[in-house]
Structure 1
Amino acid sequence: MAFTLATWNINSVRLREELVLRFLREEAPDVLCLQECKSPVDKIPTEGFASLGYTHMVARGQKGYNGVAILSKLPIAEAGAEDHAKLGHARHIAGRLENGVTIHNFYVPAGGDKPDRQINEKFGQKLDYLSDMRDAFHAAAPQKAILVGDLNIAPREDDVWDHKKLLKVVSHTPVEVESLAQTQEAGKWVDVTRADIPDGNLYSWWSYRSPDWDTADKGRRLDHVWATPDISSAAHSSRVLRHVRGWDKPSDHAPVLATFDL
């Protein structure tokens, strides 16, 4: 079975329902993983999604903050939701397709403005969240799994617009990059996007603070698609839909897609 999967930090699924519908009509992925839904599950506007064939959903939500959802044309059963670092946040949902593939959808904490846990509690929460993810993957090695989401870290030098200038900026600091690397290694996860697009600058997020984001192009690759080694070779056709960032009243993130032949 071949299926295309997309991940997108939507920054309010209710506020941007029309953008989600447009994306589903134009790209028609089989599975769409959303982060930062900012909605209780019962308030997610599922009727329009279902009218386009996305009749299945697993989700975790909370009012006004966080929230993750997996919309699917394919039957999908909930396969768990972890509260890493015991923050009480809706930041993870897992679903299992009928072919046995488990999809993990994560929204890792952004980490605030200062990369110092002594003065910034949010940065400490981010590091603790990643440590808990790492420990969970060590404790139970994932198999036949895909991990996607806004991981809020751009790990490579060419995942940011200026490596040297961002070394002390949250999302690209060495301690975050190392924490993400440890988490990835714990699950033996393969970075599908970079396996497909190994060279060159690649971004999925551009700040709202930049009025001419496209020309300035001060982006970061914060959104990721990983897969376990037993299925990573089945992935192909990775892409970032940069133009979606230019839609009217957009999210500051662009969707990232990959296709799996399984």
Structure 2
Amino acid sequence: MTQRLRIATWNINSLRLRLPLLPRLIGALDPDVICLQETKVPDELFPVDAPAELGFPHVAYAGMKGYNGVAILSRIPLQRQTTAPDWCAKGDSRHVSVLLDMKSGPVELHDFYVPAGGDIPDREENPKYGHKLDFVGEATSWFAGRKDLARTVLVGDLNIAPLEHDVWNHKQLLDVVSHTPPETSGLLAWQNTRFHDAVRHFVPEDQKLYTWWSYRNRDWRASNRGRRLDHVWVTPDLKDGLASHTILKDARDWPQTSDHVPVCVELEV
């Protein structure tokens, strides 16, 4: 028996600040699971009652004060997983994973917030860039070693726009962090550990596709200088179940909103 599964992912850029926007996301996308990044709230201050009040009683989160942080809010019962390493041994709350209790069997779900990497694309001059590359490399190695990887969905703000049409100007951004060749090749190597790009499944690679527009763009729609930093991947055994996708572009105009917009994929599992 198959079951609908709608997973939304959003870099919320402060959960406590933007918690009032979640009902709008739910109304627009009707997700079964919401994966958040950059929640910026330590675990002891997580608003534990809020998800249930929104109809999402099952929650897993990892947070810290002031920055980073990830959370999964679910209508579907879940079991938290603790098998992944402490990425780069930094304890910086960039990943949470769960098993979703689906009728056809468990679905493994990973929610990632990859380091942004600073502004200078040089490992020696900018340790943040080196951390980003190391994080992606470590994740690639870990998933490559997962011989049992199946019925798995990976989402999140991966902070890399890997393809030419994932950015507004490929040539101009080749030396800009988020689209440099070491980052894009690294992310594609991670994806190639047995994942399928669920959004590009619906949108051909020769079409422009963005999920992020800088706060610096006063009229972001007119300039449309976007990047696709937010991703949904599925293992090949889930590929045939992909039914639809939504990039909630209108969310970029919500009051006090994030510079990222929610991405949602629906599949039958």
**The two structures share one fold, judged by TM-score above 0.5:** yes
Contact between 1:82 and 1:92, CA under 8 Å: does it hold in 2? Answer: no
Residue 223 of structure 2 aligns with an amino acid whose one-letter code is A
User: C-alpha separation between the residues in 2 aligned to 1:48 and 1:24?
Assistant: 13
Unaligned runs of 5+ in 1: none
Q: Which moved more, 1:27-36 or 1:73-82?
A: 73-82
Corresponding residue to 2:49 among 27, 47, 56: 47
User: C-alpha separation between the residues in 1 aligned to 2:36 and 2:239?
Assistant: 21
User: C-alpha separation between the residues in 2 aligned to 1:69 and 1:19?
Assistant: 15
Residue 181 of structure 1 aligns with an amino acid whose one-letter code is L
- Show the counterpart of 2:247: 240
Corresponding residue to 1:26 among 10, 25, 28: 28
- Show the counterpart of 1:190: 196
Q: Which moved more, 1:203-212 or 1:24-33?
A: 24-33
User: C-alpha separation between the residues in 1 aligned to 2:48 and 2:173?
Assistant: 39
CA drift of 1:28 comes to: 2.2
Contact between 2:195 and 2:234, CA under 8 Å: does it hold in 1? Answer: yes
Q: In the TM superposition, what whole-angstrom CA distance separates every residue of 1:27-49 from its partner, at most 9, and x where no partner exists?
A: 22000000000001232223232
Percent identical pairs in the alignment equals 47
- Show the counterpart of 2:65: 63
Residue 59 of structure 1 aligns with an amino acid whose one-letter code is Y
Q: In the TM superposition, what whole-angstrom CA distance separates every residue of 1:134-171 from its partner, at most 9, and x where no partner exists?
A: 11012113211000000000011110000010000000
User: C-alpha separation between the residues in 1 aligned to 2:54 and 2:234?
Assistant: 27
Alignment of 1:50-199 (within 5 A): 50-80=52-82, 81-99=84-102, 100-141=106-147, 142-186=149-193, 188-198=194-204, 199=206
TM-score (norm 2): 0.94
1:220 aligns with 2:227: yes
- Show the counterpart of 2:7: 5
User: C-alpha separation between the residues in 2 aligned to 1:144 and 1:70?
Assistant: 18
Q: In the TM superposition, what whole-angstrom CA distance separates every residue of 1:182-217 from its partner, at most 9, and x where no partner exists?
A: 11112x100000011124111000001111111110
Q: Which moved more, 1:127-136 or 1:79-88?
A: 79-88
User: C-alpha separation between the residues in 1 aligned to 2:85 and 2:95?
Assistant: 6
CA drift of 1:10 comes to: 0.2
Contact between 2:119 and 2:177, CA under 8 Å: does it hold in 1? Answer: yes
Q: Which moved more, 1:108-117 or 1:196-205?
A: 196-205
User: C-alpha separation between the residues in 1 aligned to 2:46 and 2:22?
Assistant: 12
Unaligned runs of 5+ in 2: none
CA drift of 1:73 comes to: 0.6
1:17 aligns with 2:24: no
Q: In the TM superposition, what whole-angstrom CA distance separates every residue of 1:204-261 from its partner, at most 9, and x where no partner exists?
A: 0000111111111000000000000111221121121000011111100000000010
Residues 57 and 112 (structure 1 numbering): CA distance in 2 closer, same or farther, change over 3 Å? same
User: C-alpha separation between the residues in 1 aligned to 2:126 and 2:233?
Assistant: 29
Contact between 2:51 and 2:59, CA under 8 Å: does it hold in 1? Answer: no
User: C-alpha separation between the residues in 1 aligned to 2:22 and 2:44?
Assistant: 17
Contact between 2:29 and 2:264, CA under 8 Å: does it hold in 1? Answer: no
Q: In the TM superposition, what whole-angstrom CA distance separates every residue of 1:67-88 from its partner, at most 9, and x where no partner exists?
A: 0000001101101254211122
Q: In the TM superposition, what whole-angstrom CA distance separates every residue of 1:101-140 from its partner, at most 9, and x where no partner exists?
A: 0000000000000000010000000000001001101211
3-state DSSP class of the match of 2:16? coil
